[in-house]
Amino acid sequence: MKQVNGSYQFDRLISNIQTKEIQRLNYQSQMLQNLEQKIWQNAGLTPTMRVLDLGCGTGKISLAIAQYLTHGSIIGVDRSPTMISEAEARTRDSLTFQLGNSDNLDFPDSSFDFVYARLLFQHLSDPQTTLTEIKRVLKPGGIACLVDVDDDWVMFHPAIASMVTFQEAVVKAQLEQGGDPHVGRKLGSYLADVGFGRVKTAIEIVSSDLLQNNVEGSVGFAAFLDLLSFGAAFHDRHPDLITLGAKAKSDARKLLDLPYVWGAFGLFVVTGLKL
């Protein structure tokens, strides 16, 4: 049975997993920041816009956007009190944070020029309601930019049998908890369905080669593995994933002894305009 609140309930995770997740999310934001800045700019973000970062997590990307803005401002929203508490350390004149749910935003109509939602929609049980809210709080001509994954676009070479088993278990767990591990490919149609125009879908490939930065050896593959959660979001209801994830990660790290190993996933970048 699907959980109506979606598949990522951070505040239900035990404290040590919360700590590791916060560290991983900050690391992920740091490693992908240059790519994400390219995504914002290609989507049409300008330095004078008023921005909503929806599902802002620890606020590290919100801060990066704030640093890009010269005369604009940004508000980061997350439904986790723990995440908001972590994010508030990054508050500055152009950047604030507040607790809130994506399906019932506490903002007037036409409040923002740009709404950014990264790695949020895979966890939503009712994405259309959130998109309707995004459309409501955008000004006419405002831009929605959604960034998310699709589990069919995760790959490794050489293949890792325990990773395949683990990925299959994660897909099942996420579906059971109300998320959608294949949401990336669907986001364009979701935007069109609620009335956005000029909808476009692009795919950015995040690979171990991208992260390697010309360092010899398998440094890039180790960095790539550290981006991945290995099912942490689902451990509270699916404790079997802890064992499966540990096995998959251990087997993946054994590949670091090879001369060359490769891993990648696709980031679906979907934009739409409020007409």
Residue 154 has a CB neighbour count (10 Å cut-off) of 17
- Domain-wise residue ranges, the chain: 10-273
Chain-centroid distance of CA 132 in Å reads 19
Write down the pTM of the prediction. Answer: 0.94
- Dmax of the chain from CA atoms? 56
Please name the CATH architecture into which domain 10-273 falls. 3-Layer(aba) Sandwich (3.40)
| Mean pLDDT, residues 247-255 | 97
* pLDDT tens digits for range 117-167: 999 999 999 999 999 999 999 999 999 999 999 999 999 999 999 999 999
Which residue, chain included where needed, has tokens 């929609």? 121
Region of 230 on the Ramachandran plot (φ > 0 left; ψ -120 to 50 alpha; else beta): left
Please say if the pLDDT value at position 209 is more than 70. Answer: yes
The Cβ of residue 104 has, within 10 Å, a number of other Cβ atoms equal to 9
What's the token pair of residue 111?
């409040």
